[in-house]
């Protein structure tokens, strides 16, 4: 869980960083595009001012100081030849004394006509019909020569190809935004200054972060980023999982319900019918299939998880058996393996009683299998618990009998009901002479102690027959059944439900 969280966070951080870098790149590209468009706009305005400059140069020949018809014709011709020009005028003392416009009436020019300023933005005058005007002026005979550029032409220059950006023409302390009116200059925008004339094209900087821009221009890269983030998260998860301890791994498996019961039937040697089964834990891993209990039971015992594991297992067994409760044979023998830790577990005692109670009408026999391989030092508390369980009909079996050294002392300490002859003895049984010496000893000992016997690891008919002639009542082994999932046990239970012995 923690590893998945860390891996997801790393993947997410990678994605966010990638998106920010992509956004930064797109932001820069957009700034560059705006600058390029501003350059284009400035060069259009430059061309218009060039036109005005040429027109004013051409009328320098008027040096009489009088607005003669010839002088007016010349002004007229220049104004008409400049496609972007509205009029060309001669100015003296801020007053137009000769104009390309018909009527040649006396006009006043607003604003400065100082020698240094040769460009002015006028909000509009009676000549321009109230629309803004860019006015170019240059010193001429006894005053100035001026030419005006029309608002509609400036507007075209301020309109960008994409239509998204609105440019503003800035001249001195005035500005003329696209399709607007002349206003006092407000700062805070990006400027592109003309290298030929004293004006600039101002524009808004693009927003730093823009989802729309990211989605329209960066969708492919964002997709790649998402895929890469997932791959990175997956690798991190794999890397982190390498360092998970077997204990932690098992804890998760228990929590995820990956520990499941398998059932190995125990057969009545005389009738050949199923008299019960032993519950054997399996770890069902999603990737690598089933893991043997020999690997994870020791981990569970060492890390103190065996109680929880057995609890989970017993709950699954109850669940399974409930599905066949109607036709479950009576008197089933249910063997469950226990470890040293169980003698202190009230939870385990409760689970045993619950199992008995749920299937009380089926008179099941719960047999706890204590292995001789792992020593179990019985405490008074443990003794008391086993005594209580016994009083409810729970039986005890000594598993793997003959493989350890404590068998005899167990027989003393616990009230053992069954001995389970270890498969290493059963495996020896064959037609060859002396192959049965050891197993015969174990059988004799059990008989002398008046204990019932279960032989496990029966793999051949010869072994089954031999054990049958020796009077062993219960047999367990691959010859009859391998441990199987409940789906395979259930039909067999149905068949044997008529008679269980
Ligand atoms: P066990 O209690 O002696 O269980 C019998 C083992 O012998 C099982 O191995 C079973 O599959 C195997 N077996 C049965 N018949 C034959 C046969 O004919 N030939 C051979 N070669 N093997 C046979 P499994 O299931 O791998 O279990 C191994 C051990 O893990 C068990 O030995 C038991 O000690 C332990 N174990 C299994 N489940 C649990 C559990 O839920 N709790 C505890 N504490 N221990 C468990
Ligand atoms: Ca066993
Ligand atoms: Ca055994």
Instruction: Among 456, 463, 489, name the best residue to mutate to test ligand 1's pocket (greatest count of ligand atoms within 8 A of Cβ).
Output: 456
β-sheet bridge partners, residue 290:
284
Tally of CB atoms within 10 A around 8: 15
Q: Say if 124 falls within a structural domain.
A: yes
Burial label, 216 (beta-carbon count in 10 A; 0-12, 13-18, 19+): exposed
Residues 96 and 147 in one domain: yes
- Asked if residue 68 is part of any domain, the answer here is yes
What is the Å distance from ligand 2's center to 16 Cα?
55
Q: How many helices (H) and strands (E) does the chain have?
A: 14, 20
- Tell which wins on pLDDT, 67 or 392: 392
Q: How many structural domains compose the chain?
A: 2
Q: Domain holding 388: CATH number?
A: 3.20.20.450
Q: Determine contact, residues 186/175, Cβ cutoff 8 Å.
A: yes
Q: Is residue 113, in this structure, part of any structural domain at all? A: yes
Confidence bin at 143 (pLDDT 50/70/90): confident
Contact residues for 391 (Cβ-Cβ < 8 A; gap 6+): none
- Tell me the CA–centroid distance for residue 501 and ligand 1, in Å: 23
Based on the fold, state whether residues 411 and 267 are members of the same structural domain.
Answer: yes
178 and 30, same structural domain? yes
**Tens-digit pLDDT profile for residues 19-41:** 999 999 999 999 999 999 999 99
Phi, psi at residue 344, to the nearest 5°?
Answer: -105, 5
Q: Of 151, 168, 203, which residue constitutes the final position of a domain?
A: 203
pLDDT digits (tens, 9 = 90+) for 413-439: 778 899 999 999 999 999 988 899 989
Whether the pLDDT of residue 129 is over 80: the answer is no
Beta strands in 240-348 (DSSP E): 259-268, 274-285, 289-291, 333-338
Spatial distance between the Cα atoms of 76 and 91, rounded to a whole number of angstroms: 15
Q: Read off the pLDDT band of 126 (50, 70, 90).
A: low
Within this chain, do residues 26 and 159 fall inside the same structural domain, yes or no?
Answer: yes
Asked whether residue 410 is domain-assigned, the answer is: yes
Look at residue 270 and tell me whether its pLDDT is greater than 70.
yes
SS3 content of the chain, % helix, strand, coil (to 5): 45, 20, 30
Classify residue 153: in a domain, yes or no. yes
Ligand 1 atom having least distance to the Cα of 459: 18
pLDDT in the model for residue 186: 82
Name which residue leads in pLDDT, 88 or 100.
88
Going by alpha carbons, the residue nearest to atom 2 of ligand 1 is 337
Residues 119-147 have a mean pLDDT of: 84
461 and 315 together in one domain: yes
Pair (260, 351) in one structural domain? yes
Nearest residue CA, atom 12 of ligand 1? 457
- Say yes or no to pLDDT of 405 above 80: no
Q: What residues have CB less than 8 Å from 184, skipping those under 6 apart?
A: 173, 174, 175
Separation of alpha carbons 133 and 48, rounded Å: 12
CA distance linking residue 270 with residue 469, whole number of Å: 9
Nearest CA to ligand 1 atom 8: 280
Q: What is the pLDDT at residue 105?
A: 52
Question: pLDDT, tens digit, for every residue of 181-216?
Answer: 888 888 768 899 999 999 999 998 889 998 889 999
* Closest residue by Cα to residue 446 from 411, 487, 482, 481: 411
Decide which of 366 and 100 is more confident. 366
Residue 348's pLDDT is 96
Among residues 188, 203, 218, the one where a domain terminates is: 203
Atom index in ligand 1 nearest the CA of residue 339 equals 44
Average pLDDT over residues 321-333: 92
Q: Nearest residue CA, atom 23 of ligand 1?
A: 457
Ligand 1 mean position, distance from CA 264 (Å): 9
Cα distance between residue 173 and residue 350, in whole Å: 91
Residue 252 lies in a domain: yes
Residues 157 and 262 in one domain: no
Domain CATH code at residue 183: 3.30.450
Q: For the residues 330-342, what does the mean pLDDT come to? A: 94
Q: Residue 445: what pLDDT?
A: 85
* Gap between the Cα atoms of 250 and 42, Å rounded: 72
* pLDDT at 499 > cutoff 60: no
Q: Residues 265, 374: one domain?
A: yes
Three-state SS annotation for 160-190: CCCCCCECEEEECCEEEECCCCCEECCCCCE
User: Which pLDDT value is given to residue 161?
Assistant: 65
Residues 306 and 160 in one domain: no
Is the pLDDT at 100 greater than 90, yes or no? no
Among 203, 236, 265, where does a domain finish?
203
pTM of the model as a whole: 0.63
- Supply the range of the domain harboring residue 30: 2-203
> Which atom belonging to ligand 1 lies closest to the Cα atom of 301?
44
190 and 276 share one domain: no
Q: Is the pLDDT of residue 104 over 60?
A: no
3-state secondary structure 208-229: CCCHHHHHHHHHHHHHHHHHHH
**Is 226 inside any structural domain?**
no
Check whether 271 has a pLDDT greater than 70.
Answer: yes
Residue 235 lies in a domain: no
Task: Give yes or no: residues 335 and 453 share one domain.
Answer: yes
CB-based burial label for 102 (10 Å; 0-12, 13-18, 19+)? exposed
């Amino acid at each position: 869980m923690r590893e998945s969280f860390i891996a997801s966070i790393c993947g997410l951080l990678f994605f966010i960083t990638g998106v920010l870098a992509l956004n930064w790149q797109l932001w820069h590209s957009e700034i560059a595009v705006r600058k390029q468009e501003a350059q284009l706009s400035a060069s259009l305005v430059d061309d218009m001012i060039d036109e005005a400059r040429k027109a004013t140069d051409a009328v320098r020949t008027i040096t009489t100081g009088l607005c003669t018809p010839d002088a007016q014709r010349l002004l007229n011709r220049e104004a008409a030849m400049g496609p972007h020009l509205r009029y060309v005028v001669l100015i003296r003392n801020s007053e137009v004394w000769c104009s390309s416009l018909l009527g040649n009436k006396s006009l006043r020019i607003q604003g400065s006509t100082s020698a240094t300023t040769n460009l002015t933005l006028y909000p509009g005058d009676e000549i321009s019909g109230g629309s803004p005007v860019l006015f170019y002026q240059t010193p001429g005979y006894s005053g100035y020569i001026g030419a005006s550029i029309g608002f509609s032409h400036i507007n075209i220059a301020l309109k960008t190809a994409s239509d998204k950006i609105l440019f503003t023409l800035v001249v001195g302390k005035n500005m003329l935004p696209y399709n607007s009116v002349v206003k006092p200059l407000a700062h805070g925008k990006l400027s592109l200054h003309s290298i030929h004339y004293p004006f600039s094209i101002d524009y808004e900087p693009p927003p730093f972060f823009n989802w729309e821009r990211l989605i329209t221009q960066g969708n492919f890269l964002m997709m790649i980023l998402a895929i890469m983030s997932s791959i990175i998260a997956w690798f991190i998860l794999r890397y982190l999982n390498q360092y998970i301890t077997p204990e932690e791994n098992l804890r998760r498996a228990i929590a995820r319900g990956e520990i499941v019961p398998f059932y190995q039937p125990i057969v009545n040697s005389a009738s050949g019918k199923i008299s019960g089964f032993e519950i054997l834990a399996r770890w069902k891993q999603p990737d690598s299939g089933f893991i043997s209990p020999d690997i994870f039971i020791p981990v569970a015992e060492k890390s103190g998880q065996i109680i929880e594991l057995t609890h989970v297992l017993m709950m699954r067994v109850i669940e399974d058996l409930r599905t066949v409760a109607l036709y479950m044979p009576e008197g089933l023998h249910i063997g469950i393996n226990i470890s040293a830790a169980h003698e202190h577990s009230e939870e385990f005692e409760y689970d045993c009683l619950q199992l008995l109670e749920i299937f009380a009408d089926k008179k099941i026999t719960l047999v706890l299998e204590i292995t001789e391989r792992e020593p179990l030092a019985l405490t008074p508390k443990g003794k008391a618990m086993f005594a209580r369980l016994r009083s409810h009909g729970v039986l005890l079996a000594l598993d793997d009998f003959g493989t350890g050294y404590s068998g005899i002392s167990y027989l003393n300490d616990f009230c053992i009901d069954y001995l389970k002859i270890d498969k290493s003895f059963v495996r020896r049984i064959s037609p060859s002479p002396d192959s049965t010496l050891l197993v015969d000893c174990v059988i004799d000992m059990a008989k002398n102690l008046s204990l019932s016997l279960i032989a496990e690891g029966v793999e051949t008919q010869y072994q089954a027959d031999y054990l049958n002639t020796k009077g062993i009542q219960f047999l367990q082994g691959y010859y009859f059944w391998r441990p199987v999932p409940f789906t395979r046990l259930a039909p067999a239970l149905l068949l044997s439900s008529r008679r269980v012995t």
